Amino acid sequence: MRNSPWRRLLRGASIQRDLEEIRDLFVRYVKEETVQPLKDLGRFILWGTIGSVFVGFGFAMLLFAALRFLQEQFHVLDGSLSWLPYLIVVVLGIAVMALTAWRIVSGTAKRRLKATK
């Protein structure tokens, strides 16, 4: 029993070391399961917001370009019909926003929800 493998394991064992291992295990678990996913979520939201701002800015520039195109190319729309290019651009903008909202609402999350039922 003198050279038992269990004796070597128990020789360095202490409650203090076990508590430190448990604490280290808990800290690693919390970092892996809570802190890291929150960091990843924050990064996802940050890049999504930046992308949305750029897409929105580009969309606004396209609407201004469409307005200028209608005003410059169709001189029939001068005078009493000068409001018509603005109406066309507003309707175009509303249509694109409605299409975007429809695609968001009927996206993959809704299909996934139907698949689980």
Over residues 20-39, the pLDDT tens digits come to 899 999 999 988 888 888 99
CB atoms within 10 A of CB 85: 20
- Asked if 66 and 91 touch (Cβ cutoff 8 Å), the reply is no
Number of domains the chain is built from: 1
Contacts 24+ apart (CB under 8 A), 29-32: none
Does pTM top 0.75 for this prediction?
A: no
Over residues 53-74, the pLDDT tens digits come to 999 999 999 999 999 999 999 9
Q: Would you mind telling me the total number of residues written for the chain in this entry?
A: 117
Integer Cα distance of 37 and 47 in angstroms: 15
47: domain range?
A: 5-116
SS3 call for 2:
coil
